[in-house]
Chains A and B, each alone.
Chain A
């Protein structure tokens, strides 16, 4: 062991498993993040398949209610903390140093630590499936007092969240230090690619919100084991207090999941429209505005808890206000396409689908933000439809788009375009069959988080499940494309895409181990702001 420490001073590189366990290279770590995320996407997705299977028809066929609740809870925790967040950090690791002309991330050992926490934290979380009392089943929102009824899984849930939080904060700090300290000369802030911009702002959201979640779950822990009364009226506390603290984290969290997606789409659309991004600086300001607003809208998740009128009004106004900066983004993307010269390779297809489908999710979000109507929508499948549109056809589609976009750069090979297109069309059609009917289910009265439902909801549930199975199966195609691309294929050029702009395309595909050992020539830097 101490010998490995000695390595730090030399140039020796560990090999085999030790290479991956001890790596400080941003590309290796990025790869680890991305592979981990894909694994978690499949585990979380398998749980979603259990959900859709049980909901295929009324009556309980496959699982018991308690296990069903565990499935929704774990599905959400895994997808959010295991699939989407690590995927973004993976992209950040791979791309940010390259995009800003840096040799590596600013704090490489911390970087390794942020990644390796994840498998261990999820080991803890997943092991709860086999514990007495079962896995956590109180919803990913972990509202007390219900969550306090969790069995042996409870402390593992709390500690897993602490652990994941540490990883996110460390990752965020690294991104901030990298961007603010490691830019090549000439790479001014207003020349940064938008992906970098959205990530810095995401990093600030992480640093400001994750510790609050840590505090909230710590209070859960002490309420359960140490007799505190934070969330119990009998001692002067309030269960709703948890919800305020949780959503103070929770709402920024959803923008943590989507802001990097905005960045990726802002990279892809100009590339394939062969036209500069429209309104670069307003994109930056809009991202900032969204981030700021995200801290003062949290109670829109709690319109039915019985807040005073003034509170409900305040949170309604701030919530709907987010539509303005988000709209600016959508309009800018459309304006970028306008009078462009577009081609439609797979990354572009996913980006375009993102724009449409995310907007639909945004529209339902806006409807949810209208307080009095939310008294009806709240905790129904309308909400489920909303957030899967922004999360699946939003965040996940952007992840797919970004993967196809940079895969040739990462691997040095072109992926199979035909298979990519198949993946796109199958996914896009089935995902709408999966989630669109859920709007109707919610409006006509189906609550969320139920394993069984009244018979008038049968048809749409069946449709939704069928869509879900096709969507799930289509993702296997994605893995096929990625694996084929890693193993071989047409050699990718440095430039890869005709309209591509930015430093990453000046490096060979795949890039050398150390990206920019010499800072790139300032005159070669063409940032977003032209």
Chain B
């Protein structure tokens, strides 16, 4: 009986914690994100997760039933069979079918993600140790983005600054990546020294930034807002300290921002026609 209690608590640990992860707001689960892709893979994630839970319930259920019932202390006598071709075929085929049910929607999402064609604008993102550079292709806008000063001093060893007191600790930068909503934005990721990875969870993907090569990805942000992420590939000592902040704004605001950026750079020998900016940044592959 003592055993029973132990197993019960053990079973509790294995089973009950898993489904908890569906309570998204508790910081337990993937964010739903703000792009069609992120929402699609959120659904895919939940779908696969539930399948895993279901398999878990069946397999562990059978196992624990057996552990509880077929024990010597309860007088169970061991059977002597050890083989059944039929059963074995069944439990080879069923998982196979389940896998097909997983692979089909996964294939669909993947094909969608890889279709970078027909973008409205292009941003080239270059990772450096330890900052990001953004280049808005077809405009004069390009800038570096580094971890914001308050976090940067708080994170030093012996700084005596409480991280909880710093707003957006390690998740804030000096220059935000401003992008328009409801536009297909093509991101070109590359790097200047070692490999980095550009990742904003709300967009639904991360992509490695490989020195010497360019990877293409895209996002279509539906809701305005500030979305935070960070470098996701080990890139040396300050890998943990190269955050990313994307600010999605309505188109008009974006155009104004680009214009203001261009002026601030004082690079403009010729004046920009604000209405044309989007058209000019449109780059078909």
Direct contact between A and B in the complex (CB less than 8 angstroms)? yes
Distance from B68 Cβ to chain A, minimum over Cβ atoms (Å): 10
A379 touches B197 (CB 8 A): yes
B207 proximity list for chain A (CB < 8 A): 304, 306, 375
A323 touches B95 (CB 8 A): yes
A316 proximity list for chain B (CB < 8 A): 103, 106-107, 110
From A205-213, A352-360, A409-417, give the one contacting chain B: A352-360
B172 (CB) vs chain A CBs: closest residue: A454
From A102-110, A137-145, A184-192, A513-521, give the one contacting chain B: A137-145
B72 touches A138 (CB 8 A): no
B240 touches A453 (CB 8 A): yes
Once bound together, how far apart are the Cα atoms of A309 and B40, in whole Å?
A: 18
Q: Tell me the chain B residues, 165-206 only, with Cβ under 8 Å from chain A.
A: 168-171, 193-195, 197, 199, 201, 204-206
B234 proximity list for chain A (CB < 8 A): 69, 138-139, 143, 146, 449
A353 proximity list for chain B (CB < 8 A): 10
From B134-142, B149-157, B257-265, give the one contacting chain A: B149-157
Which of A273, A360, A376 sits near B30, CB closer than 8 Å?
A376
A450 proximity list for chain B (CB < 8 A): 239-240
Which of A240, A304, A334, A444 sits near B29, CB closer than 8 Å?
A444
B211 touches A304 (CB 8 A): no
From A4-12, A117-125, A428-436, A503-511, give the one contacting chain B: A428-436
Is A292 in the interface zone, CB < 8 Å from B? Answer: no
Distance from A510 Cβ to chain B, minimum over Cβ atoms (Å): 28
Is B102 in the interface zone, CB < 8 Å from A? Answer: yes
Is B280 in the interface zone, CB < 8 Å from A? Answer: no
B92 touches A279 (CB 8 A): no
From B58-66, B118-126, B245-253, B270-278, give the one contacting chain A: B58-66
A340 touches B63 (CB 8 A): no
B205 proximity list for chain A (CB < 8 A): 304, 375-376
A279 touches B106 (CB 8 A): no
A352 (CB) vs chain B CBs: closest residue: B67
Q: Mark B10-34, 1 if CB is under 8 A from A, else 0.
A: 1001100110010000011111000
Q: Tell me the chain A residues, 303-327 only, with Cβ under 8 Å from chain B.
A: 304-306, 309, 312-313, 316-317, 320-321, 323-324, 327
B45 touches A313 (CB 8 A): no
A232 touches B212 (CB 8 A): yes
Instruction: Contacts A278-B82, A450-B240 given; indicate if A370 touches B102 (C-beta within 8 A).
Output: yes
A343 touches B73 (CB 8 A): yes
B237 proximity list for chain A (CB < 8 A): 64-66, 69, 137
A275 proximity list for chain B (CB < 8 A): 78-80, 82
Distance from B98 Cβ to chain A, minimum over Cβ atoms (Å): 8
A356 touches B60 (CB 8 A): yes
Once bound together, how far apart are the Cα atoms of A277 and B211, in whole Å?
A: 52
Q: Mark B215-254, 1 if CB is under 8 A from A, else 0.
A: 1100000000000011111111111110000000000000
A313 proximity list for chain B (CB < 8 A): 107, 110
Once bound together, how far apart are the Cα atoms of A3 and B28, in whole Å?
A: 67
B90 (CB) vs chain A CBs: closest residue: A331
Instruction: Contacts A339-B78, A340-B66 given; indicate if A375 touches B204 (C-beta within 8 A).
Output: yes
Instruction: Contacts A328-B92, A447-B232 given; indicate if A338 touches B70 (C-beta within 8 A).
Output: yes
A332 (CB) vs chain B CBs: closest residue: B88
Which of B67, B106, B162, B231 sits near A337, CB closer than 8 Å?
B67
Distance from A292 Cβ to chain B, minimum over Cβ atoms (Å): 15
Is A344 in the interface zone, CB < 8 Å from B? Answer: yes
Which of A58, A367, A460 sits near B49, CB closer than 8 Å?
A367
A458 proximity list for chain B (CB < 8 A): 164
A274 proximity list for chain B (CB < 8 A): 72, 78
B68 (CB) vs chain A CBs: closest residue: A342
Distance from B169 Cβ to chain A, minimum over Cβ atoms (Å): 5
Instruction: Contacts A59-B162, A64-B157, A143-B234 given; indicate if A320 touches B99 (C-beta within 8 A).
Output: yes
Is B266 in the interface zone, CB < 8 Å from A? Answer: no
Q: How many A-B residue pairs have CB under 8 A?
A: 293
Once bound together, how far apart are the Cα atoms of A323 and B95, in whole Å?
A: 8
Once bound together, how far apart are the Cα atoms of A196 and B229, in whole Å?
A: 48
Once bound together, how far apart are the Cα atoms of A436 and B83, in whole Å?
A: 35
Q: Tell me the chain A residues, 350-374 only, with Cβ under 8 Å from chain B.
A: 352-353, 355-357, 359-360, 363-364, 366-367, 370-373
Is A239 in the interface zone, CB < 8 Å from B? Answer: yes
A235 (CB) vs chain B CBs: closest residue: B212
A342 touches B195 (CB 8 A): no
Is A127 in the interface zone, CB < 8 Å from B? Answer: no
B157 touches A306 (CB 8 A): no
Instruction: Contacts A338-B66, A370-B48, A378-B206 given; indicate if A239 touches B72 (C-beta within 8 A).
Output: no
A277 (CB) vs chain B CBs: closest residue: B82
Query: Number of B residues whose C-beta is below 8 Å from A?
Result: 102
Once bound together, how far apart are the Cα atoms of A316 and B61, in whole Å?
A: 29
Is A466 in the interface zone, CB < 8 Å from B? Answer: no
B91 proximity list for chain A (CB < 8 A): 327-328, 331
Is A238 in the interface zone, CB < 8 Å from B? Answer: yes
A439 touches B194 (CB 8 A): no
Is A149 in the interface zone, CB < 8 Å from B? Answer: yes
Is B163 in the interface zone, CB < 8 Å from A? Answer: yes
B211 touches A233 (CB 8 A): yes
Once bound together, how far apart are the Cα atoms of A376 and B193, in whole Å?
A: 24
Q: Tell me the chain A residues, 4-31 only, with Cβ under 8 Å from chain B.
A: none
Once bound together, how far apart are the Cα atoms of A324 and B216, in whole Å?
A: 34
A239 touches B59 (CB 8 A): no
9 nearest CB pairs, A to B: A233-B212, A450-B240, A306-B215, A276-B82, A375-B205, A341-B78, A363-B52, A372-B109, A339-B79
Once bound together, how far apart are the Cα atoms of A356 and B18, in whole Å?
A: 13
Q: Tell me the chain A residues, 458-478 only, with Cβ under 8 Å from chain B.
A: 458, 460
Once bound together, how far apart are the Cα atoms of A138 and B194, in whole Å?
A: 11
A359 (CB) vs chain B CBs: closest residue: B59
B232 proximity list for chain A (CB < 8 A): 378-380, 447
Is B1 in the interface zone, CB < 8 Å from A? Answer: no
A308 (CB) vs chain B CBs: closest residue: B114
B163 proximity list for chain A (CB < 8 A): 58-59, 452, 455
B30 proximity list for chain A (CB < 8 A): 376, 443-444
Is A530 in the interface zone, CB < 8 Å from B? Answer: yes
A342 touches B28 (CB 8 A): no
Is A159 in the interface zone, CB < 8 Å from B? Answer: no
Q: Tell me the chain B residues, 39-89 only, with Cβ under 8 Å from chain A.
A: 40-41, 44-45, 48-49, 52, 55-56, 59-60, 62-63, 66-67, 70-73, 76-84, 87-88
Once bound together, how far apart are the Cα atoms of A356 and B161, in whole Å?
A: 43
A363 touches B56 (CB 8 A): yes
Is A282 in the interface zone, CB < 8 Å from B? Answer: yes
Is A486 in the interface zone, CB < 8 Å from B? Answer: no
B199 proximity list for chain A (CB < 8 A): 379, 447
Instruction: Contacts A66-B237, A323-B95, A447-B231 given; indicate if A309 touches B111 (C-beta within 8 A).
Output: yes
Instruction: Contacts A344-B3, A436-B17, A447-B199 given; indicate if A279 touches B55 (C-beta within 8 A).
Output: no
Is A42 in the interface zone, CB < 8 Å from B? Answer: no
